[in-house]
Amino acid sequence: MERREFLKKSLTLGLGAGVLFLPKGLRGGVAKALAEENYPDLVALKGASPEAMFDRGIAALGGIGRFVKPGQTVVVKPNISWDTPLDGAANTSPALVARVVKHCLDAGAKRVFVMDHSIEYWERSLDGSGIGAAVKSAGGVYAPSEDARYYQKIDLKGAVLQSTQIHESLLESDVLISVPVLKHHGGAGVSIAMKNLMGCVWDRRDYHSKGLQNCIADFLHAKKPDLSIVDAYRVITRHGPRGGSPDDVAEMSAQIISPDIVAADAASARLLGREPADVPHIRFAAEAGFGQIDLTKLKIERLAL
């Protein structure tokens, strides 16, 4: 029997003899590693408010403390690009953003920044979406993103994106959490956790000129989120990313959470009726080794609340 399998079976037998007989300095690390093997790769939830689903989902993944440690700086990246109300579904649920911020602070985060390079005027988007007030009430800090001085040029080894200007908060943070709202997108096909990160760069035109699908995947060479939380409570199913009428919005009352951004996007794409491999940026990210696109290879926990 291989040593790894022996240790796993030993732990199963009552937190086992295997751990007890390890050298003292190794016990904690082995116990933690084996415990993490039992966490799901992805949690899919349905049937409750966005904040209630997050509470249950993050608990199933081992709690936010698995991703955020005391004293760390966290960046939470939702969609805040549009001056539209909550029922328009163009922006992430403010209640969900507030709940994520609170969980991070409760885990001991030193500071939690929330940012997005808005497409419409940033102050109206922040107010109209309700996210500005939600972040403040939860104890988070909105990081100004409307001026080039907040961005720094970095080099990266993407397929087509060799450099970009990234928001300074990401470069100074310990943890990045992508919290997109799931929606149709006219250019990218879907807008989920990877597409959401386009709001971390200064020059979106660069993406479009070099190849939108490749650049969305290439950004992960610069910064890969530690956790992705996909808000699929209200979903724009056509005319995205902004939507145009109530007929464009479907109420799915769902949420996808995973530390694997490719898996999160793959599962969420299915909610829009898209095969993950048919969405180029999801396929490119999987081929580059950023995550698992094949959902049959994942341990998925499904929760109906």
Q: Please, how many CA atoms are within 13 Å of residue 101, restricted to the half-sphere of its CB? A: 26
Task: State what percent of residues in the chain have pLDDT above 70.
Answer: 88
Of the candidates 226, 191, 206, 116, the one whose C-alpha atom is nearest the C-alpha of residue 160 is 206
Comparing 103 with 21, the larger pLDDT belongs to: 103
Neighbouring-strand partners of residue 177: 76, 227
Tell me how far apart the alpha carbons of residues 138 and 95 are, in angstroms, rounded to a whole number. 10
Which residue type does 298 have?
A: L
pTM: 0.88
Give the model's pLDDT for residue 32: 55
Residue 191 has pLDDT above 70, yes or no: yes
| DSSP designation for 134 | H
CB-based contacts of 113: which residues, under 8 Å, 6+ apart? 73, 74, 75, 76, 140, 141, 142, 143, 169, 173
pLDDT band at 21 (very low <50, low <70, confident <90, very high): very low
Residue 15 has pLDDT above 90, yes or no: no
pLDDT band at 181 (very low <50, low <70, confident <90, very high): very high
Strand 111-114 and strand 141-142: pairing? parallel
Strand 73-78 and strand 175-179: pairing? parallel
For residues 235-254, average pLDDT: 92
Residue 223 has pLDDT above 70, yes or no: yes
Q: Write out the E strands in 32-174.
A: 42-46, 73-78, 111-114, 141-142, 151-155, 163-167
| DSSP designation for 192 | S
With contact defined as beta carbons under 8 Å apart, do 168 and 150 qualify?
yes
Tell me how far apart the alpha carbons of residues 264 and 61 are, in angstroms, rounded to a whole number. 14
Segment 109-148, tens digit of pLDDT: 999 999 999 888 788 888 999 999 999 999 999 999 999 9
Residue 10 has pLDDT above 50, yes or no: no
pLDDT band at 16 (very low <50, low <70, confident <90, very high): very low
Give the model's pLDDT for residue 119: 85
For residues 2-8, average pLDDT: 39
Give the model's pLDDT for residue 22: 44
Terminal Cα distance for the chain, rounded: 41
Tell me how far apart the alpha carbons of residues 43 and 90 are, in angstroms, rounded to a whole number. 23
Tell me how far apart the alpha carbons of residues 232 and 267 are, in angstroms, rounded to a whole number. 11
pLDDT band at 6 (very low <50, low <70, confident <90, very high): very low
CB-based contacts of 49: which residues, under 8 Å, 6+ apart? 95, 233
10 SS3 class: helix
For residues 255-266, average pLDDT: 98
Tell me how far apart the alpha carbons of residues 236 and 215 are, in angstroms, rounded to a whole number. 23
Return the minimum-mean-pLDDT range out of 30-44, 183-197, 285-299.
Answer: 30-44
201 SS3 class: strand
Which residue type does 84 have?
A: T
Q: Write out the E strands in 115-197.
A: 141-142, 151-155, 163-167, 175-179, 181-185, 189-191
Segment 48-91, tens digit of pLDDT: 999 999 999 999 999 999 999 999 999 999 999 888 888 899 99
Segment 23-44, tens digit of pLDDT: 555 555 555 555 567 999 999 9
Residue 151 has pLDDT above 80, yes or no: yes
Give the model's pLDDT for residue 85: 84
Give the model's pLDDT for residue 29: 52
CA 155 to chain centre: 23
Comparing 244 with 290, the larger pLDDT belongs to: 290
Q: How confident is the prediction for the chain on average, in pLDDT?
A: 90
